[in-house]
Amino acid sequence: MTNPREGKLAHLATELAAQRTSSRELVTDCLTRISSSKGEGARVFLKVYGEQALATAEFYDRMRQQGARFGRFAGIPVSIKDLFDVAGDTTRAGSTVLKGAPAAERDAAAVARLRAAGFVVIGRTNMTEFAFSGLGINPHYGTPLNAWDRAMGRIPGGSSSGAAVSVTDAMAFGALGTDTGGSCRIPAAMCGIVGFKPTASRVPTSGTYPLSPSLDSIGPLANSVACCAALDAVLASQTSTPAAELTVSDLRLGVLTSYVTDGLDQAVAASFERALRALGKAGAKLTDVSLPELAELPQINRKGGISAAESYAHHRARLDKEGSRYDMRVLVRILRGSEQDAADYIDLRNIRADFTARVAQQIRKFDAVVMPTIPITAPALSELASDDAYARINGLALRNPSIVNFIDGCAISLPCHAPGTAPVGLSLFGLRNTDSQLLAAAAAVEPIVAIDG
């Protein structure tokens, strides 16, 4: 069986090209882990495409043996979030409400691009219903448990919960997720992997069930920055020359010093300081940045913000008849949109544009801005039993990463915790359409803050 620790895409591509492994072996190993995970696989995947994945793997193996040329990553299994259309399947978006909806006629654009590059879709992953939470809990299909301290029953983060656990448990070697307020980066941080949120317009959302079209973006979760960059290039149909490689001593990094560092867990604070010390020692130019504008966000979003308004507009026709079938904690957030009228929504759009311009003026001089991805480590599922605890912890999880969605930027979370400690994410972010520069900066930072460093 393939070593899960060797699950980086470049390594797998090299092994496949040299025929030291086969696509069938990779797919079989993933399917074995899904089926032998003491029930975790059933919580991670809402549907497994076992027969199709094996058939696709065998095709690539035969063609490779005959000297055919195709994409570098052809034959590598990946998972897709249950928010994406797959031809012939119903997209449930982690809900029971959509179980009887018509099957999709074609793949979502993001799924089609992965297939065109040769990636093998191994299955559809579990998620928070309708992607409207940062915790990853799903009362309909069960909650995938974090690989860290699984005996304690810790949450994986969300909404791309199954996506993250499919990677940590080597049930797939990359995952397709979405990010409206942190849904790639939060589970990446809680689970100790890498999650990338691109500029929203970088990847088409056609065939993706919407949460908030103004904020939705599509990104990967994987085992390294390079893996996420490779998947992002496929998803974005990137044909331009990638950004030049950077060294840490080249980097000008802004360090957020307020709002995002309020109330940090002790473990998060220690890991963040550890990462900053390592970066400074390696020669990165670190400059404190306060961004007082961030203190405006609670007031801006006091009626639920853009995501509540747009999700309510999408769901309101269904709520009268089927509202009782929704996850009540998700429903509460959707209904916040009913508190807003047209003028509120127009005000929000205008405020967002002004806020973004003011923030951009202060951070455009940096190669990236750094902050803790989230201020907490993964809590146990039992800690979220009350609605008050759920709301408080969900708010904390979303607080930092949602900043980037609001300014329409790009961001990446990479692990920065010490060996054997709770996973903690270090986030780097930049302005819209600086994705290639951000990924280059993250690639330089990654080995400096690596957990085994």
Q: What is the DSSP string of 362-401?
A: HHTTSSEEEEES-SSPPPBGGGG-SHHHHHHHHHHHHHTH
Q: Tell me, yes or no, if 214 is annotated catalytic.
A: no
In the annotation, is 81 catalytic? yes
Reduce the DSSP state of residue 2 to 3 states and report it.
coil
Q: Distance (Å, rounded) from C-alpha 352 to C-alpha 109?
A: 28
List, in sequence order, every residue forming a beta bridge with 430; answer none if it has no partner.
Answer: 410
159 flagged as catalytic? yes
Of the residues 22, 23, 79, 81, which is catalytic?
Answer: 81
320: amino acid identity, one letter:
D
Q: How far apart are the first and last CA of the chain?
A: 27
Write down the catalytic residue from 23, 160, 161, 183.
Answer: 183
Judge contact between 128 and 158, C-beta under 8 A. yes
Q: If we measure between CA atoms, which residue out of 78, 51, 437 comes closest to residue 245?
A: 437
Of these residues, 159, 214, 402, 427, which one is catalytic? 159
Q: Tell how far CA 237 is from the center of its chain.
A: 19
77-81 β-sheet, strand order: 45-48, 120-125, 77-81, 175-179, 217-222, 194-197, 410-415, 425-430, 368-372, 252-256, 285-289
Radius of gyration of the chain (CA): 21
Give the three-class secondary structure for 88: coil
Dist CA 239 CA 360 (whole Å):
27
Q: Given 3-state DSSP classes, what are the helix, strand and coil percentages for the chain, each rounded to the nearest 5? A: 45, 15, 40
Q: Which of 99, 120, 121, 126 is nearest to 41 (CA)?
A: 126
Cβ contacts of residue 165 below 8 Å, gap of 6+?
40, 44, 125, 144, 145, 146, 147, 156, 171, 187, 191
- Any idea which residue has 């941080």 for tokens? 189
Query: Residue 73's Cα: distance from chain center in Å?
Result: 21
SS3 291: coil
As annotated, the active-site residues are 81, 159, 183
